[in-house]
Amino acid sequence: MRRAPGWKRLWWHSIRVGSRWLARDARSGWAAGRTGFARLLVPLDPWRYYELGRAADEPFFGRCLDVSSPKLLPSLLQAEGSGVWVCIDLFEDEIRAWRRVDPGLDLAVADATDLPFPDDSFDCCACLSVLEHVGKGRDANVLSEIWRVLAPGGFLVLTTDVAAAACDVFVDARIYGDASPESVDGVFFKHNYAHAELDALIEALPWTRETHEYAVQRRPGVERRFYAFAPWSYAVGPFLRVVCPGNFRISASPKLIEEAGSGVAYLRLRKPEKSG
């Protein structure tokens, strides 16, 4: 029987885990309230309908590693029997909250640039919406560490922000705490990769590129208005499903990014089998 689209399964899974958390933690005052209520109020953020939904349809299997991605994806996949997941994040508060929301997940605080796992110890890996926040230089370390812990023949699903021209984005607040370096330009938030720059980063290791596509929003104003009016806009979070699943244009050509100015790259990269 054909499964529902990834975004739809994620949407309903978010409601399920949020509801279970709400009932289970009622007596303790709903610890991890921000994360738990988010699962009910905003099952998926606008971009997640593409990024997480696309990844949810990949053939994950065996022992899987999630490198600091939104934890809803491994929570769903493990519930569906698509792999046994180990999830890491740099931030202890995030790990502590998800231990309350989904007690079945194996969660640990770890740095993606120095993974605490043996070589060849995972069959699959997901790293979504992470690489752009690490910063140049350290991003190569993240990919090198994923390569090291991924078994030959295993694959990595990766997404990152891209733009017509490479640029760093700075903000006023330290959104990621000590992981947000400061400079004269402000606090580093993310790096938007030019497509050629991203290609060079990937090609530093002999990945087999099985999927490489680009996505842009048809109506970027949907996302802008949603965040501009937060937290009041969270009241309409469940209804984003009416607009967001069809709000993306997708192409294998980077010309899509050049035309739109910015978007997301989605890749599935396989580590080759050992020869001989």
Which whole number is the average pLDDT over 32-61?
Answer: 96
**Omega before 220 within 30 of 0, i.e. cis:** no
Backbone angles phi, psi at 260, to 5 degrees: -85, -25
**Contact criterion met (CB below 8 Å) for 43 and 14:** yes
Q: Given this model, what pLDDT does residue 275 score?
A: 67
**272 three-state secondary structure:** coil
Domain boundaries, the chain: 6-270
Reported confidence tier of residue 136, pLDDT bands at 50, 70, 90: confident
* Tokens matching residue 61: 């299997």
Whole-angstrom Cα distance, residue 4 to residue 12?
Answer: 11
User: Does the structure show a pLDDT above 90 at 268?
Assistant: yes
**Nearest-angstrom CA–CA distance, 269 and 271:** 7
pTM across the whole model: 0.94
| Integer Cα distance of 128 and 68 in angstroms | 8
Which of the four pLDDT bands, split at 50, 70 and 90, describes residue 148?
A: very high
Per-residue pLDDT tens for 13-30?
999 999 999 999 988 888
Query: What are the b/e assignments for 32-68, b being 16+ CB within 10 Å?
Result: beebbebbbbbbbbbbbbbbbbbbbebebeebbbbbb
CATH assignment, 6-270? 3.40.50.150
CA distance 87 to 24: 22
Q: Using a pLDDT cut of 90, give the percent of the chain over it.
A: 87
Asked whether residue 276 carries a pLDDT value surpassing 60, the answer given is no
Q: What are the DSSP calls for 50-105, one per residue?
A: HHHHHHHTS---SEEEEES--THHHHHHHHHTS-EEEEEES-HHHHHHHHHH-TTS
Tell me the pLDDT band of 184, cut-offs 50, 70 and 90: low
CB 24 within 8 A of CB 86: no
Measured distance CA(50)–CA(176) in Å, rounded? 24
Beta-sheet strands, E only, within the chain: 63-67, 84-89, 106-109, 122-128, 150-163, 167-171, 182-183, 186-192, 208-217, 248-251, 262-270
| Alpha-carbon gap, residue 73 to 55, rounded angstroms | 8
